Structures are given as structure tokens and as C-alpha cells.
Structure 1
């Protein structure tokens, strides 16, 4: 199996960028943004090979299709308010993405726990790992 070209930290940073993305989104634009912001040189094929990045990319594209006119184009909203509203919207989108990710992790942990109930060695290992993280 090939070694992953992105670390877990880099994958999380890329997901965070996607959660906050506004405007047109393409793989090429994401690759450019990663080079500029995170100094990560990669390709769209590599990014698409990570299921979490691909999933967040698709959900971001869906979200962006539903966005109506930007706040900055509204005459009733000052530039400062538009900036704050935009920031709130990006943070709300990030929260939604993180909640989805959290649910997926909880499901995985539940499956592992259920499997461990019938495998004593696995249960002992999980208890040991849990103690290390609590103490």
C-alpha cells in the first residue's frame, strides 16, 4: 500500500478550508488555495483519493449551489456587518461539517465496542487505551 501523501493534520486543515469556502469551488482552485495558504503542493487526484476531503468537497459544492446573493451586494447591510455575517455563516458551516464527522466517529466507535464485547483481548486493549487517554 502506498504511503499517504497528506498527514492527518493536513487533511483536517483542508477540510476546515472547505467548510469555510465561499465563492466558486473547483478542484483546481482548491489546489491553488492549499499552495498559497498551507504551502501544500498536491493534485486534485490526490485530494479526491481521501474520502473525507472528497465528501466535504461535495457537500461544500452542494451548499454553495444554494447560496443566494452575497451579503456584500445588499444595500441594507454595512460592509462591517456583511463581513461579520459572512464569518458567522462560514463558522456555522464548519460546525455542521464537524457534527457530521463526529457522528461518523461515534458510529465507528460503537461498532468497535460491539465487536469488542465478543472479543476479550480486544476489550482489554480498548480499556487500556481508554485509561491512557483519561489519565
Structure 2
């Protein structure tokens, strides 16, 4: 089944947790996906930086959306690793994922997360890699 960006946006809107985070799909095409999250105070930790859990959420979700662009909508994350490179601040988090390799039932994807701010160069704040598996039946 071929998914469109509108399908991806509907799937994201169906995730209740995303309504807390405020993520939105801005790119969705074969083998690629981008998720943006506006940075606001509720997403910060005690030092005023974006909480690592928000970065992990962004990685997990965008990795799965990239995989879903080649495997279809019935996918779940099988596992991922994330490396935090520097603190995230700014106005927006931008998580970009790309499929590295895919079979009929699973995909390996890479993700980079950037902190974007008005008038500044994007800052790479984290990188992740994960595997997504196709479910035999819809969850």
C-alpha cells in the first residue's frame, strides 16, 4: 500500500501522545520522513533545555514513519539507539529519517535531529538508528 503525506499526517494525528508533544509531519516520501516539534516550555528539563525524552520520541516516531513509507502503515519500532550530541534549544526540533535498507518485513533507518532557530544555522543535536518491523495484522 502506498501512503501519502496526508495519510502520514492522519496516522500521526491518531496518536494521542503526539497531541502532548505537538509533532507534525513536514516531509513524507518513499524512504524519507521529517517530523518537526515546536519547542515550548513544557518540553524542557530543569536546565531549560529540551528533555532527552522528547528527542527520543522524535527519533522513534520519524524512524517508523520513514520505514512506513516503504513497508506500509502496519509497522512498529523493533528497537532503536540514540546518541545525544549536544543540548537542544531553539524554536523547533527537526527530525529527519531515511531508510538505509529494507526487506519485505523490516527496515533499517537512520535519523538526525536538528535544533532550528530563526536566523541561525541548524544544530545537529542527536542521531539515531533503528529497525522497524511490519505487523502481519493491523494493531
Rg larger for:
1
Query: If each structure's strand is expressed as a fraction of its own residues, which one has the higher value?
Result: 2
Query: If each structure's helix is expressed as a fraction of its own residues, which one has the higher value?
Result: 1
Q: TM-score, with normalisation over the residues of structure 2?
A: 0.24
Q: TM-score, with normalisation over the residues of structure 1?
A: 0.25
